[in-house]
Chain A
Amino acid sequence: MSRKSISLYLIIASISFLSGCWSQKELNELAIISATSIDKNEEGQYVKTIQLINPSNVAGGLQGGGGGQSPAVTVYSVTGDSVLEAHFNASSKISRKLYHAHANLIVFSEEVAQEDGIEDVLDAFERDPEIRPTARVVIAHNTKAGDLLKSLTAVDKIPAEKVNGTLEFTEQYRGTNLEVTLQDVIKTLTSEGKEPVISGFSIKGDIEQGKKMDNILKSEQDTTLETDGLAIFKEGKLIDWYQEDMAKGVIWILDKIKQTDVELDRDGKKNAIVYNVIRQKTEVSADTKHDMPTITINVRAEGDIREVRTSINLKDPKVILELEKELEEKIKKLLEDTVMRTQQNKTDIFGFGEEVHRSNPEKWKKLKSDWNDNYFSNLNVEVKVEAFVRRSGLRTNSYFSEMKDK
């Protein structure tokens, strides 16, 4: 072959391959999914609900007109005997290729999680290269998963964004919810000695009303999406919901608390002093010397006093020390209550088993088969808390002190 014929051959080959990607799709041929959810209907089929973004209605603002007239998302529900079949059945309703790579939220219904167990539906999501392993997973509490996607939201026009944003900020400032990704769920499901926890979300208000544009044209929405508890799993099945303090306790032991508040009673007044945890570190360790392992939870919290509704002398270091002691007791009780309830539920959501495994693999081999039901629920768990009050905001004593002196 001469040089010319070779280059000709190369050019021809390039033309056929370089003109574009093999299965290229233009933007106007794609249906960009923002969230998906899985329910089950009466016949036992899976119902997959898909929330699609209407790009022209999200933009709004500068383009004028567009936004505000019609919803930013469109929702379709499809059924199928398997998750994937439902996905393919969607093609009979949607004119574009479903594009998953931007979907950042997966919602499972309480029903699926309670009855079949969440592991039944996860594989299709994990296997697909288009779906993000970092997509957030939530459980729809007291509502169908599909309905959660149908409700329109203000501020964040795309409901999926609103759900994710809410999760992120409650985790950061309140510590009662947790951002859990698809990958996290599967990791804890397969891990020996740790069970998953997933945040719950629910609809407050009328579901039908939430679907209408009217809902977001008001200053106060009739129907809103709110975080609602923490779903506790055992062997893939949802068995309990933790709310408020109990949920906070779980997240504290998992060392995921970033900021939160702790209230103290004082002089007979309830919640008179509010302590704001700014940073904390929780370490779980296992002592496996004896027959029955002992778990120690070490908490070290730092923070400020941010609200005082009583006359207390915050200038006195001794008072601060006193407060610290009280805080330690309070946090300790919170964590102990959480551990006790979880031991009654017989599911090791804290990963104590993993800790035993790490510190004594030999012993773990004997314990693991009966860990949740027998050993975990009878574990001796010790909680040690160190709390530090560092500052008290812009003021020292509260004006309550002055008013009392008058």
Chain B
Amino acid sequence: MERAKISAYQLLVLIFLFEIGTAILVPLAIEAKQDAWLAVLIGLVGGCCLFWIYHSLYSYYPDIPLTEYMQRILGSVLGKVLAFFYVLYFMYITARVLRDFGEMLIIAFYPETPLFAMNVLMVLVVVYTIRKGIEVIARTGELLFIIMMLIGISTIVLIIISGIIETSNLEPLLEKGLKPVIKTVFTQTLFFPFGEVIVFAMILPYLNQASKAMKAGLLGLGLSGLVIALIMAMNISVLGVNLISRSHFPFLSTIQTIEFAGFLQRLDIIFMLSTVIAGFFKISLYFYASLIGTANLFNIKNSAQLAYPLGLILLILSITIASNFSEHVYEGLQIVPLYVHLPFQVIIPGLLLIIAFFKNRKEQRKRNS
């Protein structure tokens, strides 16, 4: 672990940017049809519960990251094996997000550019930032958070004043009851994007005031959840469910629909800016988690040394995980949530918390007696 500290506000900002990440760009929770925004909000509640688990673990071991305290909880051998799997998990998801990012730019803006060129550029920036450490990422976050907010608010204002919102598209509410909504929550929104906050189990030890972790975390999650739900509701009311379920990037189509005063149109650049900013943070934070996980597991003192080799692996992985975009999306929506996210985000941390709870109680009793 590097010696660095981030403030509670910086944590909030990082969680916000991280969660917003790819979630505002894809047709999130569209299986719930016009109630997608509701599925996002319920997913947010679940995400807060998950954050409580990660936070409780953090309060038992406030100075070490996830991959290290699982070795204390489960013993050296089992803990190390599991920690290795976590590193793989973080790497894989980093590669997935990087792929998402590259594909997005190619489909929407650079149809003739190879994926490799897109990803190389992003990896170079990410590796450079990671070498500078978490403090730099956090400070970049503070700056870009304001820019994202400005972009977001101006987009919402533009969409409202150009009069393209048809709230009737959001009706009928709960057409087929709560069941499809709940199903979407447990197959998608709980894990992506909210469960992904597990990355912060690796970053929480850098917080300078442990007491504020819960508050900052929940605020960051809550804010991002509200923004994602708002954007989904806006997409649905502008485009309608049919169009969203047929598009890769509904938010792009929403922005393209803006026509105001005859000259404010084709504002695709808004989408591009938010893609690049949010994508950058998601990739950086995931990558950072896999980096310190690796350093920790193999006892490497200077984790920055790992940035280049891991970056290379990340680059190759991002291009080889799927041979086409459909495969990539299918895996992302059908396979990853249940078979990858569910165990790594919910089951294992839950078990860890239970074991840690009993272990700590035993130790406390020993101390008391």
Question: B110 — which chain A residues lie within 8 A by C-beta?
Answer: 21-23
Tell me the residues in window 15-48 of chain A with beta carbons closer than 8 Å to chain B beta carbons. 17, 21-23
Q: At the interface, yes or no: B124 with Cβ under 8 Å from chain A?
A: yes
Q: At the interface, yes or no: B171 with Cβ under 8 Å from chain A?
A: yes
Question: B259 contacts A187, CB within 8 Å?
Answer: no
Q: At the interface, yes or no: A374 with Cβ under 8 Å from chain B?
A: no
Q: At the interface, yes or no: B172 with Cβ under 8 Å from chain A?
A: yes
Question: A129 contacts B109, CB within 8 Å?
Answer: yes
Q: At the interface, yes or no: A1 with Cβ under 8 Å from chain B?
A: yes
Of B171, B176, B253, most A-chain CB atoms within 10 Å: B171
Question: A346 — which chain B residues lie within 8 A by C-beta?
Answer: none
Q: Which of B117, B124, B171, B175 contacts A10 (CB 8 A)?
A: B124
- The answer to whether residues A358 and B243 also contact, given A17-B121, A129-B107 and a CB cut-off of 8 A, is no
Question: B265 contacts A191, CB within 8 Å?
Answer: no
Q: At the interface, yes or no: B266 with Cβ under 8 Å from chain A?
A: yes
Q: At the interface, yes or no: A133 with Cβ under 8 Å from chain B?
A: yes
Q: At the interface, yes or no: B160 with Cβ under 8 Å from chain A?
A: no
Q: How far is the CB of B170 from the nearest CB of chain A, in Å?
A: 9
Measured CA separation A191–B266 after assembly (Å) = 25
Per the CB 8 Å criterion, the residue count for chain A at the interface is: 22
Question: B308 — which chain A residues lie within 8 A by C-beta?
Answer: 1
Question: B172 contacts A358, CB within 8 Å?
Answer: yes
User: Whose C-beta in chain B lies nearest to the C-beta of A133?
Assistant: B256
- The answer to whether residues A187 and B243 also contact, given A22-B117, A357-B172, A358-B172 and a CB cut-off of 8 A, is yes
Measured CA separation A321–B266 after assembly (Å) = 48
Per the CB 8 Å criterion, the residue count for chain B at the interface is: 29
User: Using an 8 Å CB-CB cutoff, how does the interface string of B40-73 with A read, 1 for contact, 0 for none?
Assistant: 0000000000000000000000000000000000
Question: A133 contacts B253, CB within 8 Å?
Answer: yes
Q: At the interface, yes or no: B134 with Cβ under 8 Å from chain A?
A: no
Measured CA separation A101–B168 after assembly (Å) = 30
Q: At the interface, yes or no: B363 with Cβ under 8 Å from chain A?
A: no
Question: B121 contacts A129, CB within 8 Å?
Answer: no
Q: Which of A23, A101, A191, A354 contacts B112 (CB 8 A)?
A: A23
Q: Which of B111, B120, B124, B175 contacts A129 (CB 8 A)?
A: B111
User: Whose C-beta in chain B lies nearest to the C-beta of A17?
Assistant: B121
- The answer to whether residues A183 and B120 also contact, given A129-B109, A190-B243, A191-B240 and a CB cut-off of 8 A, is no
User: Whose C-beta in chain A lies nearest to the C-beta of B34?
Assistant: A358
Q: At the interface, yes or no: A359 with Cβ under 8 Å from chain B?
A: yes
Question: A354 — which chain B residues lie within 8 A by C-beta?
Answer: 168
Question: A344 — which chain B residues lie within 8 A by C-beta?
Answer: none
Question: A22 contacts B113, CB within 8 Å?
Answer: yes
User: Whose C-beta in chain A lies nearest to the C-beta of B109?
Assistant: A129
Q: How far is the CB of A253 from the nearest CB of chain B, in Å?
A: 15
Question: B257 contacts A129, CB within 8 Å?
Answer: no
Tell me the residues in window 281-302 of chain B with beta carbons closer than 8 Å to chain A beta carbons. none
Tell me the residues in window 108-134 of chain B with beta carbons closer than 8 Å to chain A beta carbons. 108-113, 117, 120-121, 124, 128
- The answer to whether residues A134 and B120 also contact, given A183-B243, A358-B171, A359-B172 and a CB cut-off of 8 A, is no
Q: At the interface, yes or no: B208 with Cβ under 8 Å from chain A?
A: no
Question: B265 contacts A186, CB within 8 Å?
Answer: no
User: Using an 8 Å CB-CB cutoff, how does the interface string of B69-91 with A read, 1 for contact, 0 for none?
Assistant: 00000000000000000000000
Measured CA separation A362–B256 after assembly (Å) = 34
Question: A133 contacts B111, CB within 8 Å?
Answer: no
Question: B242 contacts A132, CB within 8 Å?
Answer: no
Measured CA separation A190–B253 after assembly (Å) = 16
Question: A22 contacts B259, CB within 8 Å?
Answer: no
Question: B172 contacts A187, CB within 8 Å?
Answer: no
Question: B257 contacts A22, CB within 8 Å?
Answer: no
Q: At the interface, yes or no: B239 with Cβ under 8 Å from chain A?
A: yes
Question: B117 contacts A361, CB within 8 Å?
Answer: no
Measured CA separation A354–B242 after assembly (Å) = 13
Q: At the interface, yes or no: A155 with Cβ under 8 Å from chain B?
A: no
Q: How far is the CB of B325 from the nearest CB of chain A, in Å?
A: 13
Question: A22 — which chain B residues lie within 8 A by C-beta?
Answer: 110, 112-113, 117
Measured CA separation A10–B266 after assembly (Å) = 34
Measured CA separation A133–B265 after assembly (Å) = 11
Q: Which of B113, B121, B242 contacts A187 (CB 8 A)?
A: B242
Question: B108 — which chain A residues lie within 8 A by C-beta?
Answer: 129
Question: B120 — which chain A residues lie within 8 A by C-beta?
Answer: 13, 17
Q: How far is the CB of A194 from the nearest CB of chain B, in Å?
A: 10
| A-B contact list, 8 entries, CB within 8 Å | A10-B124, A10-B128, A22-B112, A22-B113, A132-B265, A133-B257, A183-B257, A186-B243
Extra contacts, 8 of them, besides A132-B266, A133-B256, A134-B259 (Cβ < 8 A), are: A10-B124, A23-B112, A129-B107, A186-B243, A354-B168, A357-B172, A358-B168, A361-B172
Closest 8 CB pairs of A and B: A22-B113, A23-B112, A190-B242, A358-B171, A361-B175, A361-B172, A133-B256, A358-B172
